[in-house]
Amino acid sequence: MDARRESLREMLSDWRARTAAAGPAADLANMPRLRVFGLTVALLNVLHVLWIVLATPGDLGDPDASRWRVGLLWTHGVMAAVMVAGAGFAHRTLRTPTPGGVLRLLGVGFGLLGLLCASAIAVVDQWVTPNITPFVLSALVISFLLRLRPLDAALVLGINGVAFVAALGLTQSDPALLFSNRLNTLGVTLAAWGLSVALWHGFLTITQQQRALGEVQEALEARNRELHELAQRDGLTGLYNRQTIIARAGEHLARGRRSGSPMALLLIDIDHFKRINDTHGHPAGDAALRQVSDCLREGVRGTDDLGRFGGEEFLVVLPDTTTEGARVAAEKLRSLVEQEDAVADGLVLRTTISVGVASTDTDAHATFAALYAAADGALYAAKEGGRNAVRVGDASAPDPRAGTGASPTGRGEG
């Protein structure tokens, strides 16, 4: 018995939690339904009023029939006004931000007023017929139309049911019919509430599934972004890889041509890198690569792009930068690397870099290949001049090594 009570308590707790989570979505989902439903019912009310005015004489000769005619004119007119007002409020909430509490109150209030108006029509009908069709239809339609929390639905249907039971005695004089209609009212109210609860349960299930699906989609999108980022990065240094940094350089180059602003490249090579690998092993070489990449990352601007171009080479793309500005930036990076030693298994490694500089301010129409060739030539000159140095190349000038037999990236042992 205790286990059963605990299971029931957990189920109710879960129901309350899901209801609280789905409530705002349900309140918002009710608004477009209220707008369409309100206007539709208002139109039907107007048609009823026109039919009553045109199809029935002003004096039907029977007091009850005359009261029925006047009562229907009033109830349908009032209901049309209520429906139009409700549709107007619902339309406004869809156009302007509205607090959740107001949306909930509008849904409950609209449902209750609509039911009371339809019930009033059924009460007026008792003067000429014992049927309570307007009450039955309105209770079922509101339960089907609106996604109301079970307690809200019980409140709306309960108030309407009690009011209808009390009002029936005003127009229905036959005790047997009065008892029958009141009994039917109880059954219809309970059935409508059961329908509302069942639809609410379905709404909770769908909402929970949509939320779970959304979470899965967000996780997949995050994973895709992560994979895309990893595909653009070098695994050892975390910098852009060769393919990505070349693509970034092309984008900056195209943007610079459109805006007329210069762009510079820094081609960087770690000095004596092969000697580090041969003497101390590849783990020491990896430590040197990481140390240099950290210094470069620290020294570039937020608008610059930095990538590992291959082996011990790095490429820095400097948008909106002249040759002189690029030279100053290169000196800053060279100094940062010179001041920071790499450490591998307790071994301190002094690292330096050589830098080749090239900018489009020497040739506004220079291609990436021309810029790279100029920076590569300048880097070759820095290596030949003793390393740990910065040299500037001219993108408009031919490669000084052309015809010398030197390879485009041939810098000895680094």
- Are 166 and 306 within one domain? no
Q: Is 371 inside a domain boundary?
A: yes
Question: In tens digits, what is the pLDDT along the chain, a chain of 414 residues?
Answer: 677 777 777 777 777 888 888 889 999 999 999 999 999 999 999 999 999 998 887 666 788 888 999 999 999 999 999 999 999 999 999 888 888 889 999 999 999 999 999 999 999 999 999 999 999 999 999 999 999 999 999 999 999 999 999 999 999 999 999 999 999 999 999 999 999 999 999 999 898 888 889 989 999 999 998 888 788 899 899 999 999 999 999 999 999 989 999 999 999 999 999 999 988 898 899 999 999 999 999 999 999 999 999 999 999 999 999 999 999 999 999 999 999 887 777 778 889 999 999 999 878 788 999 999 999 999 999 999 999 999 999 877 665 554 443 444 445 456
Last residue of a domain, one of 184, 218, 252: 218
pLDDT for position 407 = 41
Structural domain includes residue 72: yes
The answer to whether position 407 is within a domain reads: no
CA distance 7 to 123: 45
pLDDT of amino acid 225: 86
Asked whether residue 78 is domain-assigned, the answer is yes
Which pLDDT score is estimated for 404? Answer: 40
What was the pLDDT predicted at 398? 60
Q: Which two tokens stand for residue 340?
A: 């920071």
Boundary (domain end) residue, out of 218, 253, 282: 218
Indicate the Cα dihedral angle 26, 148, 47, 128, nearest 10°.
170
pLDDT at residue 227 in the model: 85
Same domain assignment for residues 209 and 168: yes
pLDDT value, residue 11: 75
Dihedral angle computed from the Cα positions of residues 219, 223, 229 and 235, in that order, rounded to the nearest 10 degrees = 140
Domain count, the chain: 2
Q: Taking the complete model, does pTM exceed 0.75, yes or no?
A: no
Out of 218, 253, 279, a domain closes at 218
Q: 73 and 6, same structural domain?
A: yes
Nearest to 127 by CA among 70, 51, 184: 70
Same domain assignment for residues 159 and 249: no
Are residue 250 and residue 366 in the same domain, yes or no?
A: yes
Are 124 and 13 members of one domain? yes
Quick check: is 406 in a domain? no
- Which neighbouring-strand residues pair with 357? 266, 392
pLDDT at 155: 96
CA 16 to CA 134: how far, in whole Å? 33
Residues 154, 23, single domain; the answer is yes
Whether residue 398 is contained in a domain is answered as no
* 22, part of any domain: yes
The answer to whether residue 400 is domain-embedded is: no
pLDDT at 344: 73
SS3 assignment, position 345: coil
- Distance, in Å, from the CA atom of 268 to the CA atom of 239, rounded to the nearest integer, reads 14
Q: Is 193 found in the same domain as 141?
A: yes
Q: What is the CATH number of the domain that holds 257?
A: 3.30.70.270
Residues 24, 153, single domain; the answer is: yes
What is the per-residue pLDDT for 4? 77
Domain housing 266:
242-392
**Are residue 196 and residue 252 in the same domain, yes or no?**
no
Q: Sort 38 into a burial class: Cβ within 10 Å, 0-12 / 13-18 / 19+.
A: buried
- Domain shared by 104 and 158, yes or no: yes
Residues 295, 173 share a domain:
no
